[in-house]
């Protein structure tokens, strides 16, 4: 018997003995008159046990089934997959078991298990209003993590996320965050949904230029030439917004935290051990993420635009070249022989554009017309921006180091400073005599010819 029941017992006995009225007893116990009369009849019949509720000691009809509890305990104590409370609830819902995250938390605490992530007090931040429509703003980013588990090496996932609905749009596996991964993610996004109005990402060198150099052509033009990925976005009419901090694009950062929490656990639950199995599992996992996290946008009208007819030509690296006298166009690693034009026309001194596509094909374009198409090389291909041929042949030297050509990942090699091959000055280009020349001897006087007779001033 609890304290409350013990306090009610005295007024009830006094009312039974007739020392107080029922109304006075109801006021003392804080009960209604009808409820006081009911308790009075039960105490007269059963004594003090009449104050106890009739369901006390009986199992609840709403209790969790033993089989369900055992399934929850088995998932909580899984030897490889560590699931948080909400993730475990979603997994059980997919299996047809309706259970709340609070019930999972109570079972976990009953087992003495700590939460998967330690919750820290939130910091005060100002909310950025979501985009109103699908396709108005798409966030793009990459994340390096041990996605197959702690015993496997890390690799990078490049993904896109719709800002209006938190709908994951694409996910691509790459060894590292590079141009090929960004282009693949954008290609999958466009094929599945269309062209977005804007992309929101960080200030990676893949998308924006972070150097302070302006060429003469750029100064005359009034704008800097974009990166290869930026040129693709310009042709597609997609605006790129570069964030100045991770908090500015916090939605996709929190999306990566969720994926880092759930995806390795799902990989372990499904027994995935190889990269091909992981690639095949990603589309199914993305579909489940849409069911878990997607929310309706504020406006039902979509902002997606249709894809251009030649999307493969747009998602490519582009290089401006002048055709040589032999009708050959060169980029590092390739020399492309152009066929003759109409009436055996030569393209000598014509400015053309060479495009290297995502699959490895090479196109030579002139005024929107394809002059040459070279098939893709055999085997896997990685789209990497190529430097100029002159930069490949003559690496720049700065501070005693040979500077690697742009987009070249080879380490810079230290070289020893050598004397110039000629005895010319570095600044004046005047030939200097060697150290043992007679002119450099102290007291040397040249034998000048004597003045002829009659000459003089």
Given this model, what pLDDT does residue 221 score?
A: 86
Q: Which residues contact 321 (CB under 8 A, 6 or more apart)?
A: 329, 330, 331, 351, 352, 353, 354
Question: Measured between alpha carbons, how far is 341 from 311 in angstroms, rounded to an integer?
Answer: 26
Residue carrying structure tokens 């990269």: 275
The residues pairing with 161 across neighbouring beta strands, listed in sequence order, are 139, 168
CA distance 55 to 62: 13
Residues contacting 154, CB < 8 A, separation 6+: 144, 145, 146, 147
Give the helix/strand (H/E) hosting 76. helix 66-76
What whole-number distance in Å separates Cα of residue 305 and Cα of residue 136?
Answer: 10
Pair type for strands 239-242 and 198-201: parallel
Give the DSSP letter of residue 412. P
φ, ψ of residue 190 to 5 degrees: the values are -70, -40
Whole-angstrom distance, CA of residue 261 vs CA of residue 415:
47
Q: What is the reported pLDDT for 276?
A: 94
Beta strands 362-366 and 369-374, pairing class: antiparallel
The three-state (H, E, C) secondary structure of 264-308, written as one string: HHHHHHCCCCCHHHHHHHHHHHHHHHHHHHCCCCCCCCCCCECCC
CB 362 within 8 A of CB 374: yes
d(CA 138, CA 195): 10
Task: Confirm if 140 and 199 have CB atoms less than 8 A apart.
Answer: yes
- CA neighbor of 376 nearest in space, from 363, 360, 395: 360
60 dihedral zone (left: phi>0; alpha: psi -120 to 50; beta): beta
Enter the tokens of residue 297. Answer: 């946008």
Q: Please provide residue 286's backbone torsions phi and psi, each rounded to the nearest 5 degrees.
A: -65, -40
Global pTM reads: 0.66
Structural contact between residues 358 and 316, judged by C-beta atoms closer than 8 angstroms: yes
Task: Report residue 183 as tokens.
Answer: 């282009």
Q: What is the DSSP letter of 133?
A: S
Q: Which residues pair with 157 in a beta bridge?
A: 143, 173
244: its two tokens: 């100045």
The closest of 385, 386, 417, 384 to 400, measured between CA atoms, is 417
- Cβ neighbours of residue 272 closer than 8 Å, sequence gap 6 or more: 148, 278, 281
Q: Whole-angstrom Cα distance, residue 155 to residue 178?
A: 12
Say how far apart CA 424 and CA 427 lie, in whole Å: 9
The strand pair at 351-357 and 334-337 is best described as unpaired
CATH number of 138-293: 3.30.420.10
pLDDT in tens, the chain (457 residues): 677 778 888 888 888 888 899 998 888 888 899 988 988 888 888 888 778 777 777 777 778 888 899 999 999 999 888 899 999 999 999 999 999 999 999 999 999 998 888 777 777 777 788 999 999 999 999 999 999 999 999 999 999 999 999 999 999 999 999 999 999 999 999 999 999 999 999 999 999 998 888 888 888 888 899 999 999 999 999 999 999 888 888 899 999 999 999 999 999 999 999 999 999 999 999 999 999 999 999 999 999 999 999 999 999 999 999 999 999 999 998 999 999 998 889 999 999 999 999 999 999 999 989 999 999 999 899 999 987 443 444 343 333 333 334 444 434 444 444 444 554 544 555 667 787 777 777 666 666 555 454 444 3
Question: Phi/psi of residue 440, each to 5°?
Answer: -90, 0
Say what the pLDDT of residue 1 is.
65
CA distance 345 to 353: 18
Q: How far is CA 456 from the centre of its chain?
A: 89
Please tell me whether residue 439 adopts helix, strand or coil conformation.
Answer: helix
Q: Residue 288: left (phi > 0), alpha (psi -120 to 50), or beta?
A: alpha
Residues 290/291/295/297 CA torsion (nearest 10 deg): 60
Rounded distance between C-alpha atoms, residue 80 and residue 1, angstroms = 46
Could you tell me the residue ranges of all domains in the chain? Answer: 3-51, 66-110, 138-293, 311-374
């Amino acid at each position: 018997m609890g304290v409350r029941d013990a306090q009610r017992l005295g007024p009830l006995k006094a009312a039974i003995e007739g020392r107080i009225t029922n109304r006075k007893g109801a006021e003392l116990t804080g009960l209604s008159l009808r409820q006081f009369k009911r308790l009075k009849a039960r105490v007269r019949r059963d004594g003090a046990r009449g104050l106890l509720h009739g369901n006390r000691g009986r199992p609840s009809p709403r209790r969790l089934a033993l089989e369900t509890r055992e399934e929850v305990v088995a998932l909580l104590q899984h030897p490889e997959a560590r699931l948080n409370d909400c993730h475990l609830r979603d997994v059980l819902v997919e299996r047809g078991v309706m259970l709340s995250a609070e019930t999972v938390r109570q079972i976990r605490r009953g087992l003495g298990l700590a939460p998967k992530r330690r919750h820290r007090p939130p910091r005060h931040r100002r909310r950025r209003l979501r985009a109103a429509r699908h396709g108005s703003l798409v966030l793009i980013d990459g994340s390096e993590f041990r996605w197959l588990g702690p015993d496997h090496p890390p690799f990078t996932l490049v993904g896109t996320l719709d800002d209006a609905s938190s709908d994951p749009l694409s996910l691509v596996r790459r060894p590292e965050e590079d141009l090929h991964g960004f282009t693949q993610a954008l290609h999958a996004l466009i094929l599945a949904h269309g062209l977005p109005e804007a992309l929101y990402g960080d200030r990676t060198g893949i998308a924006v230029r972070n150097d302070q150099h302006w060429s003469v052509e750029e100064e005359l033009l009034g704008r800097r030439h974009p990166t290869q990925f930026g040129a693709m976005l310009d042709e597609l009419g997609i605006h790129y917004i570069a964030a100045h901090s991770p908090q500015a694009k916090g939605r996709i950062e929190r999306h990566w935290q969720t994926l880092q929490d759930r995806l390795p656990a799902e990989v372990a639950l499904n027994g995935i051990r190889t990269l091909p199995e992981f690639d095949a599992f990603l589309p199914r996992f993305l579909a489940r993420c849409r069911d878990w996290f997607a929310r309706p946008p504020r406006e039902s009208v979509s902002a997606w635009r249709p894809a251009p007819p030649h999307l493969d030509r747009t998602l490519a690296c582009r290089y401006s070249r002048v055709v040589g006298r032999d009708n050959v166009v060169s980029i590092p690693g390739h020399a492309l022989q152009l066929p003759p034009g109409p009436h055996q026309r030569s393209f000598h001194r014509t400015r053309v554009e060479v495009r290297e596509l995502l699959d490895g094909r090479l196109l030579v374009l002139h005024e929107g017309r394809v002059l040459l198409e070279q098939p893709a090389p055999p085997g896997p291909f990685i789209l990497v921006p190529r430097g100029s041929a002159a930069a490949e042949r003559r690496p720049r030297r700065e501070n005693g180091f040979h500077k690697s050509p742009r987009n070249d990942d080879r380490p810079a090699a230290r070289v020893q400073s050598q004397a110039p091959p000629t005895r010319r000055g570095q600044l004046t280009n005047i030939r200097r005599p060697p150290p043992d020349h007679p002119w450099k001897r102290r007291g040397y006087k040249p034998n000048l010819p004597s003045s002829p007779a009659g000459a003089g001033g």
